[in-house]
Structure 1
């Protein structure tokens, strides 16, 4: 059980902390007595425990840092207690033997701080004003990062380099011979001194990239050569990258030269594999390089605080494309009126904006369909196999925490319980990745649902695919990982990754699509047809789950709109407290759905309608609602999307022509008039001076 695992982990953490404090107490007591055997054992065990926790429980040690008991304080305390012990042990001369050891120990810590300062300087010198992917940046003289232990892991470096010192001093305590302490300190000093010298080489010109001005000049030159036309702008948190990733395939297929513009440094590696060039502008000042480029328009899959900054570039047109459409208020945010155009899937979204009355003009709404939905297979009739596959894909609780946003809290366990009670059901449970991020109760319900599914699987049995299927999945996984995995060593920084992620070779997009399809085929073939599945990873994607499922159960979310492209049966959980009639009228995406109450009594009837199309009363309504939500099937969505992009680029170009005409005609004329007026005023002033003289 997850709760039991959490409790056990906390017990282990508490035990580790109490053990550390007990070892400090033992060190102090045996140093004062002194009792050498226990003193040596406690000192060595204390350092070993700290090193172990650095690698296995770094989060626990970060809590100690918050109360100012960080690694430096702990190591200083350990070394101080060892020196106290040496003072109390007979046979060691304080002035002749311990004083040099104490001075050497102080030099050790001075070198540690020097190494840390050097590492900070190196990291700052390696931070570029922009970060790129899929762009050849070899002209910037990029280099590999220094070892992570030296450049970033200051706590581990201090502890590991303290091992020779601690061992040497403890040998001195055991033998009363300061020679051993001197050897240990000498080794530690050489390690730290060498680290400082080695790190300093990254500050020399040979290992330094070009300065900020040279980097921006290089970027301007690259933009002039590449001549981007249409781009995608994205800014967001660590869990929001999926909002941009869903548009990568569409962006790469548009006419012109595409570009991805990011704002957060970490987001560069969050974007999935693509051959589209990526530029990250951490600071708004550098982003204005785009103003002088050929970029004509930007697509915006999400609203973000930093979006307003790029909207200030007048030479670029902006279209809001969202990361999914639903009946939620977030799908018609008033911020949308800041864009030149709002691109929606079909007539339903157009109506939603007009009913919301938030200031978006109808002429600025463009229906483009949903190009990403092409992999979804259409309805092929009632299930013919032994099991009916049900996809339960609830959304998350949303930023406002409204209980009507997600069914997980009020209805999730009831829905799953009814599904698991049917021996002919195979459940695929795919919760939203942000479930529980806003309301802990949603996360707890999510864990209980997973536990129910695991328990149900334990009570089932049947034939499993042979080893050939597993071997095929392993092979396909390796092939896909070769194309998509981020192949970096642990110590790589953004400059090293930028160096390694230059211009891709070949058609990366086509290769990834082919490898992904092969992997999905192998993945589902390797699973028993009777076994319920919990899918929380990014693979398989939601559309792949669509193709496996006979029916969907979800909430009011974009998942429902996307599912309708298949015209398969679906159900929506009503946890809003509204009556079914009000729920259907208030949320157009559920008009062709079976409605489930929080108790989920309607699950058996839903399954019956899926298995027997004669009981499916919503089939015709689904076809009508599909076109209302997603627009017509002909011309294809990608064609309409591309046409909209071409048209908006043309509007941007027309504005550039008008602006250039104004610069050529109006401004020089104004300057000539101003010069003539200034000359006339000067002549009048000179005449007045002559008259007065």
Structure 2
């Protein structure tokens, strides 16, 4: 390694930074001596490296910007060193030629500042107060975005426009002919000036974006026309979109007009494919426009700092659904008492809230099941005799509290995988939580080691089969033909075409609003069918004997449930979701508790096999999966399923919809009471409070 003890990525960054600084030093030496070849090579190499880093290592350049060594300073220093070198070279007239080059160079920077000013004006003009998706915005007369190089990539623009300048000045240094420098500077000035004029056309009426007041008036009119009744409210970070996405299909299936309300602009594109209209209202004042709409209730899959802002609207009822239920404390957050109702899957969660004693009234807890678990197929019996047993190991992440029992990856993960790989009749599917290692580096390192173990096991089976052996259980030889990969590529293309919108690289949020207008009728059903076809093609494209590491968003966890014979996980909502299939499962106990204490503390584990840190219970678990006579927990799983998820009849979606209808009725009843009293249902002081909230600093998203 070039730098012992330094991660490869850091080593590359350090090497690039060292090379960039060396180029400046060499350029300085070349200008002082003067040494024309050294000056030319160092300046050209420095510019080329800067351009390369803009594309390949933007993070490194952002660090340089923090210490005020940004692209402007770097290029200005490069140009000044070239001019200084020209002063030292014989054959270039300082007053007649050098001064002209200097004036033109300064003019090029003035034009850069001009285009930067126009860029700021255009970007401000194209920042709308309300962002939408699946909504017809044709009435706003939005225009496509200007080229990205002009509007949003000032660093790239400066470097690209500096290329003719640098080439011209260096050619002048090599030939002592100032014409080349004038030519290069002239080209740069012409391109910069033309770009500024072209970009300024987006400030003319034909391309100018509607002002904020007009957008708000349009949105208020759209609300009156669409008349939403049920909605989903979500605010969170970039990695938390899954919390909202798991409820989108349920929202779409409810009676009434659905609506998704977001608070962060980037989240609009992270919501899964859906026909439900999506609106993003970053400012509290715009959020309050919902108060005058027909919206009656909002589902809340997560708590966040911005949740309190929407709770101020008295015309809307609020139900907390959470984004998963487990025995962990986070499933009983005291914030839940702020909502009108808390919707839980079954009796277990109801009891959990009462045991937690956090102020949630039992009368406000409504059991609705988990409608989104419908795609999970029920238990269909043990794997074929003598065939492979598919084991899904889906550990959760380490969490924020440092509890070693949160995830099994650190203390037990490698032992679990080692025991599974030792059984020649096991096919392992490893699907770690996407946040694994984000808090505790040990979890990230253990995750890498586990993946390396699985990769090595696959390679060993292939090598043994290639050597003429039988492999592990006769595995390692057969693979699906090219037609399987071709079919996967075909359905992947169909799914991508249905589920995603392809934007050109220069598209901004206004252009995306324009492109993601009202969806075609039946698109959601088509996406669902295409997803099912993709999952079938995905599994068919993989060797039936091969262990798999699944880290992409597709296939989802439910698709993995359907092909697994047994699940191994940690205390998390994955367990309660998997229980809907009534298949065998195991839970890793790395908490330090005894098995009895573990089961008493976490009721969701009581119908599963408990694995210790050394995972010595794996052989017995596999035997119970393969031979139903050894499976003594069948009845316990069925009972626990009903305790966690509620009864199978009526179906969960029916119960969920009934709860939504009832909550909407409460909103109607409240509105009727207000109207009967003849009082305004909008206290005037709340308007002032909304304005005050706009001045408050942003709060971090919660869980």
TM-score greater than 0.5 by the shorter chain: yes
What does residue 423 of structure 1 align with? 424
Give the Cα–Cα distance (whole angstroms) in 2 for the partners of residues 377 and 462 of structure 1. Answer: 30
Give the Cα–Cα distance (whole angstroms) in 1 for the partners of residues 299 and 332 of structure 2. Answer: 17
Contact 2:674 2:681 in 1 (8 A): no
Question: How many residues are treated as equivalent by the alignment?
Answer: 666
The alpha-carbon deviation at position 401 of structure 1 amounts to 2.1
Q: Any idea what the Cα deviations from partners look like across 1:100-144, whole Å, max 9, x if unmatched?
A: 110110111111111112111111110111000000001111111
What does residue 575 of structure 1 align with? 590
What does residue 469 of structure 2 align with? none
The alpha-carbon deviation at position 56 of structure 1 amounts to 1.4
Compute the TM-score of the two structures, normalised by the length of structure 2.
Answer: 0.93
Map 1:196-345 to 2 at 5 A.
Answer: 196-345=196-345
Give the Cα–Cα distance (whole angstroms) in 1 for the partners of residues 5 and 550 of structure 2. Answer: 20
Q: Any idea what the Cα deviations from partners look like across 1:19-50, whole Å, max 9, x if unmatched?
A: 22221111111111111122212211111111
What does residue 435 of structure 2 align with? 434
- Provide closer, same or farther for how the CA distance between residues 5 and 201 of structure 1 changes in structure 2, counting only shifts above 3 A: farther
The alpha-carbon deviation at position 665 of structure 1 amounts to 11
Give the Cα–Cα distance (whole angstroms) in 1 for the partners of residues 681 and 572 of structure 2. Answer: 51
The alpha-carbon deviation at position 602 of structure 1 amounts to 0.6
SS at match of 1:38: helix
**Residue 516, structure 1, aligned to residue 531, structure 2:** yes
**Residue 653, structure 1, aligned to residue 668, structure 2:** yes
What does residue 412 of structure 2 align with? 411
The alpha-carbon deviation at position 632 of structure 1 amounts to 0.5
Give the Cα–Cα distance (whole angstroms) in 1 for the partners of residues 232 and 680 of structure 2. Answer: 34
The alpha-carbon deviation at position 8 of structure 1 amounts to 3.2
SS at match of 2:597: helix
What does residue 382 of structure 1 align with? 382
What does residue 493 of structure 1 align with? 508
Contact 2:431 2:551 in 1 (8 A): yes
Give the Cα–Cα distance (whole angstroms) in 2 for the partners of residues 648 and 600 of structure 1. Answer: 47
What does residue 49 of structure 2 align with? 49
Compute the TM-score of the two structures, normalised by the length of structure 1.
Answer: 0.94
What does residue 690 of structure 2 align with? none
Q: Which moved more, 1:448-457 or 1:38-47?
A: 38-47
Give the Cα–Cα distance (whole angstroms) in 2 for the partners of residues 183 and 321 of structure 1. Answer: 66
Q: Any idea what the Cα deviations from partners look like across 1:473-504, whole Å, max 9, x if unmatched?
A: 11110110001123111111110000100000
Give the Cα–Cα distance (whole angstroms) in 1 for the partners of residues 307 and 64 of structure 2. Answer: 38
Give the Cα–Cα distance (whole angstroms) in 2 for the partners of residues 289 and 141 of structure 1. Answer: 22
SS at match of 1:395: coil
What does residue 105 of structure 1 align with? 105
Give the Cα–Cα distance (whole angstroms) in 2 for the partners of residues 642 and 37 of structure 1. Answer: 77
Contact 2:501 2:516 in 1 (8 A): no
The alpha-carbon deviation at position 664 of structure 1 amounts to 6.2
Unaligned runs of 5+ in 2: 462-475, 683-703
The alpha-carbon deviation at position 430 of structure 1 amounts to 0.5
Give the Cα–Cα distance (whole angstroms) in 1 for the partners of residues 12 and 576 of structure 2. Answer: 46
Give the Cα–Cα distance (whole angstroms) in 2 for the partners of residues 366 and 529 of structure 1. Answer: 43
Give the Cα–Cα distance (whole angstroms) in 2 for the partners of residues 238 and 416 of structure 1. Answer: 30
Q: Which moved more, 1:6-15 or 1:275-284?
A: 6-15
SS at match of 2:678: helix
What does residue 154 of structure 1 align with? 154
Unaligned runs of 5+ in 1: 668-693
Spell out structure 1 runs of 4+ moving beyond 6 A. Answer: 3-6, 664-667
The alpha-carbon deviation at position 10 of structure 1 amounts to 2.9
Map 1:41-80 to 2 at 5 A.
Answer: 41-80=41-80
Question: Which protein is bigger by CA-based radius of gyration?
Answer: 1
Give the Cα–Cα distance (whole angstroms) in 2 for the partners of residues 11 and 18 of structure 1. Answer: 10
The alpha-carbon deviation at position 666 of structure 1 amounts to 12
Contact 2:488 2:537 in 1 (8 A): yes
SS at match of 1:568: coil
Give the Cα–Cα distance (whole angstroms) in 1 for the partners of residues 209 and 141 of structure 2. Answer: 5
The alpha-carbon deviation at position 15 of structure 1 amounts to 2.2
* C-alpha RMSD of matched pairs (Å): 1.6
